[in-house]
């Protein structure tokens, strides 16, 4: 598994929780695990998505798998109120060894950080029951577009994507979900695009989205600065562009991610 682009410090852990809340109306629009009993979440991190799943489906039990003991430690704190409805396994998602089999699976913002996403999906499938429902949500960073005048933001985004590829991730893995799931042997696969689109009609959402995007991009700065992949000035210029965009009613901001549903037979 490659280095994690965003790091594991407390500030990043808080960001993950905030991000889950901001994007929940988009991420969960097409999710339906009603009737499912046992769900496997791979790449569960601090439990930000897990909380939404547990709150939305009161009868669901969730097994959280993550490679990081720091993230799982925070997840145990964040999800303590759910008691035995949630369990935790520190494992590499590409080498799962679990006793249980599950009737649902959920992956969100995880495959972008995995060198071999097909291996992860194959391992996941081996722990799912026939008829199990699977939902995967992933990035498609090539979709990012802004209107003219935000070159520093666009530049930083491109450098970040290049760095993620360098450390073994894939910032465009979302666009490959249909093919990956097909190769892994899943059936009844469907894909759809969701995302963020700000223009002159979006004054109420502009500050929320640009603030969220600034936090997201700044979370990648320590790793890139430490490797010499970007400069502090590039980080500051990116932030300045997003601050300007938050007030610019003529700015256009566009980003799409990809969701895939599949079934096990």
**Mean pLDDT by 10-residue block, N- to C-terminus, for the chain (265 residues)?**
58 69 90 96 95 96 95 94 97 94 97 96 97 98 98 98 96 98 98 96 91 93 94 98 96 98 95
Alpha carbon separation from 252 to 68, 141, 193, 255 (Å, rounded): 37, 16, 18, 10
Q: Domain count of the chain?
A: 1
Residue 5 forms part of a structural domain: no
Q: Tell whether 163 is covered by a domain.
A: yes
Residue 173 lies inside a defined structural domain of this protein: yes
| Cα-based distances in Å from 220 to 148, 163, 190 | 24, 10, 31
**Position 4 in a domain:** no
Structure tokens at 265: 């037979």
Range of the domain at 67: 10-263
Q: How much is the pLDDT for 130?
A: 97
Note the pLDDT of residue 22: 84
Tokens, residue 95: 């080498």
Whole-number pLDDT of residue 5: 63
We report the CATH number of the domain holding residue 199 as 3.40.50.150
Residue 1 falls within a domain, yes or no? no
Q: Is residue 224 in a domain?
A: yes
């Amino acid at each position: 598994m490659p280095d994690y682009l965003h790091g594991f410090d407390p500030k990043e852990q808080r960001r993950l929780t905030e991000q889950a809340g901001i994007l929940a109306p988009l991420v969960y629009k097409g999710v339906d695990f009603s009737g499912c009993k046992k769900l496997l979440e791979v790449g569960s991190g601090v439990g930000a998505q897990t909380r939404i799943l547990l709150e939305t489906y009161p009868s669901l039990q969730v097994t959280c798998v993550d490679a990081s003991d720091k993230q799982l430690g925070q997840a145990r704190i964040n999800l303590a109120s759910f008691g035995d409805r949630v369990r935790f396994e520190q494992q590499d998602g590409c080498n799962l060894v679990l006793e249980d089999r599950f009737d649902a699976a959920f992956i969100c913002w995880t495959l972008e950080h995995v060198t071999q996403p097909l291996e992860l999906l194959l391992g996941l499938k081996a722990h799912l029951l026939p008829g199990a429902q699977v939902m995967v949500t992933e990035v498609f960073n090539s979709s990012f577009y802004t209107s003219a005048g935000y070159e520093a933001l666009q530049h930083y985004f491109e450098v970040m994507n290049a760095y993620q590829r360098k450390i073994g991730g894939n910032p465009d893995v979302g666009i490959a979900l249909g093919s990956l799931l097909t190769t892994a042997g899943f059936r009844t696969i469907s894909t759809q695009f969701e995302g963020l689109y700000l223009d002159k009609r979006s004054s109420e959402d502009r500050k929320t989205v640009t603030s969220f995007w600034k936090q997201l991009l700044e979370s990648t700065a320590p790793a890139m600065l430490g490797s010499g992949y970007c400069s502090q000035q590039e980080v500051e210029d990116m932030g300045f562009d997003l601050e300007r965009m938050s007030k610019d009613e003529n700015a256009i901001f566009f980003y799409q991610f990809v969701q895939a549903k599949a079934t096990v037979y």
